[in-house]
Structure 1
Amino acid sequence: MSEPPLKPVLQKPPGYKDPNSLAAQPGFRPPPRKPVLPPSFHPKKKKSSCCRVCCCCFCIFFLILLLLIVVCGTVFYFWFDPKLPGFHVQSFRVSRFNVTQKPDGTYLDATTTIRIEVKNPNGKMTYYYGNTEVDVSVGEGEDETELGTTQVPKFSLGKQKSTSLKVETKASNKLVADGIGNRLQTGYRSKTLPVNVEARTKVGLGVAGLKIGMVGVTVKCDGITMKQLDGDDMPKCDINMLKWLNIH
């Protein structure tokens, strides 16, 4: 039986090197493999510049808005020339003031009428007042004694107008310390008795037919003696706005 013909031997291309023969050669080292790192060690991709653009746009918008507010406020101030309202104690009348010593203590009976003048010095703005709560007391320091609280209904005050608020208080059979009662009686007779008035209200502005929000205001008229109130001068009161602004 004849043998099958031999297959032709494939010729190796020029420069070909057998990897098996290379691995068998002494001193040969295969190229090192790159270490496989966990996902936490992979380099992070750079964030998009969208956040930076948004921040820049917001800052620019805020600065423009702030500039507009400043410009509008400046124009409003120079155009309308706003002035705060004025409060003065116009008069203080006492129809009854009796200090009576009884076996069980000293008692005070007092009836007073106070008039407070309110002025609007503005020629282009109207003031609106909410309900006003008025406290009246006499004496100072440890001798200060409350005579009562009265509420005045809301009212408005036109341009360069003034009005007079009537405040009536009554203290009936009010118990006071013996020493305080005597000092109050002495001050009343000599007209050196200090009178204290505190009014709490809310004030709003009216500009060109528009009403601007109400702001809490406290008006204090402290340490005014009855002798001062008998004169022609009307003592001016202090205005406390927003608990941080004190204006005389």
Structure 2
Amino acid sequence: MREPPMKPALQKPPGYRDPSAPGKPVARPPPRKPTLPPSFRTKRKRRSCCRTCCCFLCFFIVILTIIVLVVGGVSYLWFSPKIPTFHLQSYRIPEFKVTVKTDATYLDARTVIRIEVKNPNTKLKVYYGRTQINAIVGKGESETELGQSEVAGFTQGIKNVTSLKIESSTKNRLIDDKDGRKLKSGYKTKNLEVRVKARTSLGYVVGRWRIGALRVTVSCGGMTFKSLDGGGEMPKCTVNFLRWINIH
């Protein structure tokens, strides 16, 4: 028996793709970076400029500090600044009257004080601001102020010695009856203790420049009239410098 003829194979149309065939991997587009607003964008150039400026400023400050320290040290060694010395030359009370009245005790007094100021520096002048001076007598609870006066500011030359004359007075000063009796007795026997306290500012002069102007307190006295009239060595004063350094 004759076999029927075979049918020709169907031709696949162009672009046909077999669904059962494995597909080729599809390339994905690279991920896009998120777009940040201008305020969140990094500014590398500006940050680097700021860092450079800060480094330069720190370096400049360090160099300037070193220069100032070196110049200050050399200047200190060259000028060798010294604190002026003060001596109490004389302390006179031409008028001293204690009056006991029915209501209270009153004091009238006049003082004349001389203080010697020495500038020991060989390369520096010293200038003094306005000086406030208090004359005091007695000690402890009976300490009494006899008046207050002021000395105008002045400049003292190199290796100079200046004598300051200070006059002060008090009128009808009310004092305690007990203190009045002690002061009157001490004045007659010359056992009355006297002292002077001065507050001023001092600094140094280099050419036309003034350096310093620090506040100081000068305390003189603590002795009696007898010791002052003895003609011995002038009592040296104590300089309270910067409130914590005492120079005798």
TM-score by length of 2: 0.77
1:18–1:99 distance in 2 versus 1, CA, 3 Å: closer
SS at match of 2:217: strand
Does 1:196 find its partner at 2:201? no
Aligned residue for 2:62? 63
SS at match of 1:88: strand
Aligned residue for 1:236? 236
Q: Name the larger-Rg structure.
A: 2
Deviation at 1:112, TM superposition (A): 1.0
Amino acid at match of 1:236: K
Deviation at 1:54, TM superposition (A): 4.8
Amino acid at match of 2:242: L
Written as runs of structure 1 = structure 2, the 5 A alignment for 1:1-248 is 8=13, 10-12=15-17, 15-16=22-23, 48=47, 53-230=52-229, 231-248=231-248
SS at match of 2:234: coil
Amino acid at match of 1:242: L
Aligned residue for 2:7? none
Structure 2: how far apart are the matches of 1:213 and 1:147?
A: 32
Deviation at 1:80, TM superposition (A): 1.1
SS at match of 1:219: strand
Amino acid at match of 1:10: G
Structure 1: how far apart are the matches of 2:49 and 2:139?
A: 66
Per-residue CA deviation, residues 210-241 of structure 1 (Å, 9 max, x unaligned), is 33252222212252322232232111112223
Per-residue CA deviation, residues 13-46 of structure 1 (Å, 9 max, x unaligned), is 9741799xxxxxxxxxxxxxxxxxxx9xxxx979
Deviation at 1:62, TM superposition (A): 3.1
Contact 2:221 2:235 in 1 (8 A): no
1:52–1:211 distance in 2 versus 1, CA, 3 Å: same
Deviation at 1:175, TM superposition (A): 1.3
Structure 2: how far apart are the matches of 1:191 and 1:56?
A: 72
Structure 1: how far apart are the matches of 2:211 and 2:193?
A: 37
Contact 2:127 2:156 in 1 (8 A): yes
1:52–1:95 distance in 2 versus 1, CA, 3 Å: same
Amino acid at match of 1:87: F
Deviation at 1:159, TM superposition (A): 0.5
Query: What are structure 1's unaligned runs of at least 5 residues?
Result: 1-6, 20-38
Query: What are structure 2's unaligned runs of at least 5 residues?
Result: 1-11, 27-35
SS at match of 2:179: helix
1:228–1:46 distance in 2 versus 1, CA, 3 Å: farther
Amino acid at match of 2:124: M
Moved over 6 A (4+): 44-47
The size of the alignment, in residue pairs, is 222
Structure 2: how far apart are the matches of 1:45 and 1:172?
A: 81
Structure 1: how far apart are the matches of 2:194 and 2:50?
A: 63
1:18–1:102 distance in 2 versus 1, CA, 3 Å: closer
Structure 1: how far apart are the matches of 2:17 and 2:195?
A: 118
Amino acid at match of 2:240: N
Structure 2: how far apart are the matches of 1:58 and 1:246?
A: 41
Amino acid at match of 1:235: P
Structure 1: how far apart are the matches of 2:228 and 2:125?
A: 29
Structure 2: how far apart are the matches of 1:219 and 1:155?
A: 17
Identical-residue share of aligned pairs (%): 50
1:242–1:18 distance in 2 versus 1, CA, 3 Å: closer
